Amino acid sequence: MRFFRVLVCAAALGASTWHAAHAQSAAADCGPPLLPQLCVDFDASRSVDAAAGNLVYRWHMGDSTTLSGFTINHCYKRRARYQVVLDVEVSATGEVRRAEKTFEVDLVTQPVINFSFPATTVHVGQAIAFDALDSGLPTCQNIAYIWDFRDGTTQQGHRIEHTFRRAGRYAVRLSLRGYGPGDCADSHCATREVVVVP
Counting residues of the chain whose pLDDT is more than 70, the rounded percentage is 81
Query: Does the model's pTM come out above 0.75?
Result: no
pLDDT tens digit sequence for 4-19: 344 445 555 433 333 3
Res 3 pLDDT > 80: no
Closest CA to 80 of 61, 100, 99, 67: 61
Res 103 pLDDT > 80: yes
| Secondary structure letter of residue 69 according to DSSP | S
Res 176 pLDDT > 90: yes
How many angstroms separate the CA atoms of 188 and 190, rounded? 7
Domain enclosing residue 84, as ranges: 9-106
How many angstroms separate the CA atoms of 43 and 53, rounded? 19
What is the pLDDT confidence band of residue 195, given thresholds at 50, 70 and 90?
Answer: very high
Q: Which of 54, 74, 106 is the last residue of a domain?
A: 106
| Whether residue 83 is found in the same domain as residue 146 | no
| Whether residue 174 is found in the same domain as residue 137 | yes
Q: Is 2 in contact with 51 (CB distance < 8 Å)?
A: yes
CA distances from 158 to 62, 75, 105 (A): 33, 28, 28
Q: Which of 106, 129, 157 is the last residue of a domain?
A: 106
Counting residues of the chain whose pLDDT is more than 90, the rounded percentage is 42
Q: Which of 106, 129, 162 is the last residue of a domain?
A: 106
| Average pLDDT along the chain | 81
| Secondary structure letter of residue 35 according to DSSP | P
pLDDT tens digit sequence for 122-163: 999 999 999 999 898 888 888 999 999 999 999 999 999 999
Q: What is the CATH number of the domain that holds 18?
A: 2.60.40.10
Q: Is 148 in contact with 175 (CB distance < 8 Å)?
A: yes
What domain count does the chain have?
2
| Whether residue 82 is found in the same domain as residue 125 | no
Res 175 pLDDT > 90: yes
**Identity of residue 89:** E
| Whether residue 15 is found in the same domain as residue 90 | yes
Closest CA to 115 of 32, 8, 27, 23: 32
Res 1 pLDDT > 80: no
Q: Give the pLDDT of residue 54.
A: 81
Residues 14-26, buried b or exposed e (16+ Cβ, 10 A)?
Answer: ebeebeeebebee
Q: Give the pLDDT of residue 49.
A: 61
Burial (0-12, 13-18, 19+ Cβ within 10 Å), 51: exposed
CA distances from 147 to 21, 105, 133 (A): 20, 32, 13
Res 31 pLDDT > 50: yes
Residue 47 dihedral angles phi and psi, to the nearest 5°: -90, -5
